[in-house]
Amino acid sequence: MATAGTEAPVVKGLEGVIAGETAICNVEQSALIYRGYEIADLAANATFEEVAFLLLEGHKPSKDELARFKKELIAERDIPEMVKQNLRHAGELVNKHAAVPMDILRTAVSVCGHFDPDCQDNSAEANLRKAKRILAKVPTIIGHMQNAIEGKDFVAPDASLSHAGNLLWMMTGQKPSAEDEKVMDVSLILYAEHDYNASTFTARVIAGTLADMHGAIVGGIAALKGPLHGGANEAAMEMLSDIRRDIGPENDPKKIADWMQKAFVEKRKLMGFGHRVYKNGDHRAPILHGLGRKAAEKRGPEFVKLFELGEAVQKIMEDEKKIYPNVDFPCGMTYFTMGIPVPQYTPIFVASRVSGWAAHVMEQHANNRLIRPRAAYTGPDLMKWNG
C-alpha cells in the first residue's frame, strides 16, 4: 500500500545523508577539522582546554581568555553532595553487575542538572555557563565513581592540574607524570568533536525540541554507551585480551593469523576497525597509536607486546580486508598501558566529547528547527477492526 514518507529513497542508518549544517566540525576523507583547525595541528600544538574553548566559544583563545576559561572550569569542578552520596553506592552497583560506569555517569550528570541555577534557561549565555559546568564536573564524577568501585575515599579536585591531569588524579589519587598527562590531553583533543556522529545527533535531536542542555547531554551519554559508538574502545581492548588469552603471552605470528582467520570465518565483529566516513583510515588513530607506543616502551616489555599484538592484528585487517583502525583501537591499548580500568574508557570519552556536544546544543538552540524525519511504512495493508 502506498503511504506517505515513501517518495524519497530509504537510507538505512542515514548513511551519506546531510541532516543539517554546522560551523563546528568538518569530517572529510582527507582531514578532520575543528572550526578551521586540522586535528594533527591541534594535537601537536594545542591543549585540551584551548580546544574546548575553541569549540564552546567559537574562536582560538587569547592568553587572557584561556586563563579566564581555565579559572572558570576549576571553579566548577566540585559536584553537589547528593551526587557524591549517589556515587558512594557506585561500587556496590557495579560489583553486583546492576550498572556499568556509563550508567552511573549518565545518572550523575542528570542529577547535577537539578542543582544548576541555569538548568531551565536556554539562552546563549546560560547554555555556555552550563556547558562549562558540565565539562568541569565530569572528571570529578568519573574519579569519585572509580574510587567507590575500588573502595577508596574520594579525593578532591586539584586546582593546580589541567583538565586531563585532574581526571587522572581524581581516578588514581596520584599526581600524573608529565607524559601521562600529555597522552591523556591529546586523547581528549582527538575525541572532542566529530560532527553528526550518533551521540551528537542524539543531543541535537533532543535540543531541537527545545529541551535543556543537561537533558541533551544525558541523551548523548546514553548514545555513546553503545559498543558500535563510544563503547568501541572498551570492546577493542576486550578483543585483544581475548586474543592474548587464546594464543598465550607470546605473539606467535601463526597463532595470531589463525585466530584472525577463525574470526573471519565466524564473521566476528572486530571492534576498533572501520568507520562510516573514513574508508582509508581514521586521521586520529596514528596520532594516538604513536603516543601510546612511546608510553608502552617506557613501561616495559609486556606493554610493548600488547602494541605489537595490536599492530599484527591491524596489518592482517588492512592486508586481507582493506579495513583500517579507527581511534578506538589505539585508545584501548593506550589507556590500558596507562593503568586505566577498561570500564572507564568510555566515560573518559565523555570527559572530552561533552565539549563538542555542548557546542552542538548551543548551535541547535541558536538556529532551531525541530528534527522530525519520516519513516517508510512496511506494516500490513489497511484493515477493518470489526471486519
Query: Would you list the domain boundaries of the chain?
Result: 25-226+353-366, 232-337
140 within 8 A of 79, measured Cβ to Cβ: yes
**What letters, b where the CB count within 10 A reaches 16 and e where it falls short, cover 51-73?**
bbbbbbbeeebeeeeeeebbebb
Which class would CATH give 25-226+353-366? Answer: mainly alpha
> Which stretches of the chain are DSSP H helices?
39-45, 48-57, 63-75, 81-88, 90-95, 101-114, 124-149, 163-172, 178-191, 198-208, 213-224, 232-247, 253-265, 284-299, 301-316, 328-337, 345-366
pLDDT at position 2: 44
The CATH architecture of the domain made up of 232-337 is Orthogonal Bundle (1.10)
Distance (Å, rounded) from C-alpha 140 to C-alpha 161? 13
Instruction: Give me the active site residues, please.
Output: 229, 275, 328
Q: Please spell the DSSP secondary structure of 9-69, one letter per residue.
A: PP-GGGTT------SSEEE-SS-EEETTEEHHHHHHH--HHHHHHHHHHSSPPPHHHHHHH
pLDDT at position 1: 44
Which amino acid makes up residue 15?
A: E
Distance (Å, rounded) from C-alpha 249 to C-alpha 302? 9
357 within 8 A of 199, measured Cβ to Cβ: yes
Per-residue pLDDT tens listing for the chain (387 residues): 445 455 678 888 888 888 999 999 999 878 899 999 999 999 999 999 999 999 999 999 999 999 999 999 999 999 999 999 999 998 889 888 889 999 999 999 999 999 999 999 999 999 999 999 999 999 999 999 999 999 999 999 999 999 999 999 999 999 999 999 999 999 999 999 999 999 999 999 999 999 999 999 999 999 999 988 888 899 999 999 999 999 998 999 999 999 999 999 999 989 899 877 777 788 999 999 999 999 999 999 999 999 999 999 999 999 999 999 999 999 999 999 999 999 999 999 999 999 999 999 999 999 999 999 999 999 999 999 997
Task: Report DSSP state, residue 318.
Answer: I
Distance (Å, rounded) from C-alpha 326 to C-alpha 236? 10
pLDDT at position 280: 78
> Between the CA of residue 53 and those of 45, 59, 81, 303, 358, what are the distances in Å?
15, 7, 28, 34, 11
**Please, what is the end-to-end C-alpha distance for the chain in angstroms?**
18
Tell me the whole-structure pTM to 2 decimals.
0.93
